[in-house]
C-alpha cells in the first residue's frame, strides 16, 4: 500500500531556530515533493527530489532512497516561514497520482 | 515563465447556481490534474488528463461536476448545480508525462452560500 507519513503534525519554534520536518514513505517512488501552503493561499512547490539533496536559500531538502525517508530543513527560521508544509510522493506504481502526507503546521514566533 | 494559472482566485455563489473554474497549465505539460481540497485536509484528485483525454475521472462526481480540456491545453471544471458542501479550494496542477515538473496553481477558493 502506498503511504506517506509526516512528522511532526504541529511545530512551534522561536525565530532563528533550525527546523526539521520529516517524511517517510512505504515503497519505491518516482519523486518526492515538498510543498508549502500559507493560510488561505495556494500551494507552492519548494522542491522535487528523486535522490540526494537540494538547497534553495534557507531551505534544504534531503532524501534517502534506501531508508525511504526525506527531510525538509529550515535554517534561521523566520515568522514568515509559518505555513503548512506538505510532503507529497509520486509512487512508481501510482499511475502518476501524488499521495499526500498529512502536513506539518509550522508556527515561528518572533 | 508563468506557472500554472488559475482563475478566478475566489468565487462566492448561491447554492444551485452553476460555477466554472479555469486552468492554464505550464506550456508543454501534457498532464493536467484537478484537485479538491477541503479545509484542513489534503487535496483529493478529481480528474487527470493526458493531453485532451481524461484518463482518470473515477473520483469526479459526474452528476454535477464536469471537466473539459479542449485542444489539450487549457481546462475548465464546472459544477452545476453547486451545493453547500462544494465549498472548498479547487486546485489545478500540471506535469510532463510521468510526473516530472509537477506544478500547482494557486487554486480557486469557492464559497457556496
State yes or no: pLDDT of B79 exceeds 70. yes
**Is B45's Cβ below 8 Å from some Cβ in A?**
yes
CA distance A3 to B78: 31
pLDDT for residue A94:
62
pLDDT digits (tens, 9 = 90+) for A51-88: 999 999 999 999 999 999 999 999 999 999 999 999 99
Q: Do A90 and B102 touch (CB under 8 A)?
A: yes
For every residue of chain A, DSSP letters joined together read ---EEEE-SEEEEETT--EEEEEEESS-EEEEEEEEE-TT--EEEEEEESSEEEEETTEEEEEETTTTEEEEEESS--GGG-EEEEEEEEETTSTT-EEE---EEEEEE-
**Is B98's Cβ below 8 Å from some Cβ in A?**
yes
Give the closest residue to A107 by CA, choosing from A8, A3, A1, A4: A8
pLDDT for residue B1:
58
**Is B56's Cβ below 8 Å from some Cβ in A?**
yes
Do A105 and A84 touch, CB atoms closer than 8 A?
yes
Give the closest residue to A82 by CA, choosing from A19, A7, A32, A5: A19
CA distance B34 to B92: 5
Sequence-separated (6 or more) residues with CB below 8 Å from residue B85 = B112
State yes or no: pLDDT of A92 exceeds 80. no
pLDDT for residue A109:
97
State yes or no: pLDDT of A41 exceeds 70. no
Q: Which of B42, B100, B105 sits opposite A100 (nearest CB)?
A: B42
pLDDT digits (tens, 9 = 90+) for B18-29: 999 999 999 999
Mean pLDDT for the stretch of residues A12-40: 90
Q: Is the peptide bond between B8 and the residue preceding it cis, with omega within 30 degrees of 0? A: yes
Mean pLDDT for the stretch of residues B68-85: 95
Sequence-separated (6 or more) residues with CB below 8 Å from residue B24 = B2, B4, B5, B6, B73, B74
Cβ neighbour number for residue B23 with a 10 Å cutoff: 26
pLDDT for residue B22:
97
Chain A residue with Cα closest to B95:
A96
Contacts of A41 in chain B (CB under 8 A): 106
Amino acid at each position: 500500500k502506498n503511504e506517506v507519513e509526516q512528522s511532526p503534525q504541529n511545530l512551534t519554534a522561536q525565530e532563528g531556530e533550525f527546523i526539521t520536518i520529516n517524511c517517510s514513505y512505504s515503497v519505491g517512488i518516482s519523486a518526492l515533493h515538498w510543498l508549502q501552503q500559507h493560510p488561505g493561499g495556494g500551494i507552492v512547490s519548494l522542491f522535487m527530489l528523486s535522490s540526494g539533496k537540494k538547497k534553495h536559500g534557507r531551505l534544504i531538502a534531503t532524501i534517502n532512497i534506501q531508508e525511504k525517508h526525506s527531510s525538509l530543513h529550515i535554517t534561521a527560521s523566520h515568522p514568515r516561514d509559518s505555513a503548512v508544509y506538505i510532503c507529497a510522493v509520486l509512487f512508481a506504481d501510482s499511475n502518476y497520482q501524488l499521495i499526500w502526507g498529512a502536513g506539518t503546521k509550522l508556527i515561528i514566533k518572533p | 515563465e508563468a506557472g500554472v494559472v488559475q482563475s478566478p482566485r475566489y468565487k462566492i455563489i448561491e447554492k444551485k447556481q452553476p460555477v466554472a473554474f479555469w486552468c492554464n497549465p505550464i506550456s508543454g505539460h501534457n498532464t493536467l490534474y484537478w484537485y479538491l481540497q477541503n479545509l484542513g485536509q489534503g487535496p483529493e484528485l478529481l480528474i487527470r488528463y493526458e493531453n485532451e483525454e481524461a484518463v482518470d475521472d473515477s473520483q469526479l462526481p459526474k452528476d454535477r461536476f464536469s471537466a473539459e480540456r479542449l485542444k489539450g491545453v487549457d481546462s475548465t471544471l464546472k459544477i452545476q448545480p453547486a451545493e453547500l458542501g462544494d465549498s472548498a479550494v479547487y486546485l489545478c496542477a500540471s506535469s510532463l508525462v510521468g510526473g516530472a515538473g509537477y506544478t500547482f496553481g494557486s487554486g480557486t477558493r469557492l464559497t457556496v452560500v
